[in-house]
Amino acid sequence: MKQRTVTMPQGVALYMGAVLGSGILILPGYTANVAGPASIISWLLLSLLSIPVAYTFARLALTYENYGGISTIVGQAFGDTWGAIVGWFFFTWVAGGQAVVGLTGASYITAAFGWSSEAVYVLAFVFLIAALIANLLGMRVSGWLSLLLSGAVLILLLLTIGFSLPVTSLTNYRPFAPHGLQGIGQACVLIFWAFFGWESITHLVPEFKRPHPDVMRSTWISVVVVGITYTLLSVVTVGTHTYGEPSDAAPLAALMNRVLGVNAGLTTAVVACIVCLGTLNVYLASSARLGLSLATDGKLPRWFAGTSRNGTPYRSTLFLFATNTFVLGGSYVTDFAADRLILIPTTLGILVYVLASAACLKLLWRDRKGRWSALLATALCVSIAPFSGAYLAVPLITAGACLLYLKFGGHGRGR
């Protein structure tokens, strides 16, 4: 049994570490390009959506402390096949999503030093190599360091918002919705990337000193702080028109340079670099172990179950490194920019949340409060999914590949 050591403030910090990630560094600019000033509505909508989503996961975690990650939750609700599909969604999500994270950190460094666009891809590849080496050697980025860095990002965001609000101009909010409802919906799809992480509480409840009421308090505080911060950052990004060329690669750095001084961009670049490295390391470690788990259960080929002497699932690790390198190279050769590339893992993530929310709805059906929050979370996730458009082909193909494997190539419990 795990020792209960997590307090309410630590719970809030862990939430911040899970949710405040690389997306906030680039998405305010990307969403403003897609929806114009109306992107503020998209940020507000996703902030409101996070309330039932976070509450539902917290409610489920308190009811069933032994339910692991999303794949386990979906498997408990709908059976092994659906659990396998969600596992494949998540594994595929990371198989391409790390390239986006690498490009995010690289964009901030190149923006700070004025380097070429080719340098972005070189640095992104260096990030992938660094995460690969760290995982193969069995090293981990300190959880406290990750939390500290997330706190530093939050402070930088709040300072930037505070200094930017007085210099916003109402003229920058007109026309408000140049791309209509379609633009707002597409911005919502992009923003979903910034809100992944609310499910992390399902792993942490057994470690809280006082699960009741500290889990819910941590959830409410985190939802409010994150939602307000994200929405206000969108307001000042639009109000100062800090988006579009040349600031779209690193909009937060451009904004900080404008309102805090010339060195602010460099400071942001350093923090963004470390945060992205931490994100890459954590996701590569956890997803490689997901690959190991899926392979052990017969839901992926046995090849993925290979481990080194120190217990590292090196084959899954190498596979994820290879796929992200391929995605990075393809992005460079085809000039498939990060603002489009991010839609591939984000669409997979949305489908993961749709299935996870539906699973929570079934598991919490007898819990009145949990039932209604899960119903609302499922409905909102489902309503956003269609705006992914052609990118919905990615989860459909992934699900099809999973079902074919389970039918013709699976073994053990995966069949």
Each residue's pLDDT, cut to its tens digit, for the chain (415 residues) gives: 456 667 788 778 777 766 777 777 778 888 998 999 999 999 999 999 889 988 888 888 788 765 656 788 888 899 999 999 999 998 999 899 889 989 988 888 887 788 888 899 999 999 999 888 877 876 444 445 556 666 777 787 888 889 889 989 999 998 998 999 999 999 999 898 888 878 766 666 776 788 888 888 888 998 998 889 889 999 999 998 888 765 556 677 777 777 776 566 677 777 778 778 777 877 787 788 888 888 888 889 989 988 887 777 889 999 999 999 999 999 999 988 887 888 999 999 999 999 999 999 999 898 888 889 999 999 988 999 999 989 999 999 999 999 999 988 765 444 3
Q: Within 10 A of 165 (CB to CB), how many other CB atoms are there?
A: 14
Tens-digit pLDDT profile for residues 158-197? 888 898 899 899 999 989 989 999 999 999 998 988 888 7
Coil/strand/helix, residue 91: helix
Q: Would you put residue 229 in left (φ > 0), alpha (ψ -120 to 50) or beta?
A: alpha
Q: Is 227 exposed, middle or buried (0-12, 13-18, 19+ CB in 10 A)?
A: buried
**What homologous superfamily is domain 8-414 in, according to CATH?**
Amino acid/polyamine transporter I (1.20.1740.10)
| CA distances (Å), origin 260, targets 63, 139, 219 | 46, 36, 31
pLDDT at 328: 94
Q: Which amino acid is at 244?
A: G
Integer Cα distance of 266 and 112 in angstroms: 5
d(CA 123, CA 116): 11
Backbone angles phi, psi at 310, to 5 degrees: -90, 10
Inter-residue contact 203 to 69 (CB < 8 Å): yes
30: closest CA among 107, 136, 97?
Answer: 107
Cα–Cα distance measured from residue 376 to residue 357, given in angstroms and rounded to the nearest whole number:
9
pTM: 0.84
Give the pLDDT score at 275: 74
**DSSP-derived 3-state class of residue 297:** coil
How far, in Å, CA of 376 to CA of 388, rounded?
Answer: 20
Q: How far apart are the first and last CA of the chain?
A: 31
Q: Name which of 198, 244, 247 is nearest 219 in CA terms.
A: 198
Residue 7: how many other CB atoms lie within 10 Å:
14
- Domain extents in the chain: 8-414
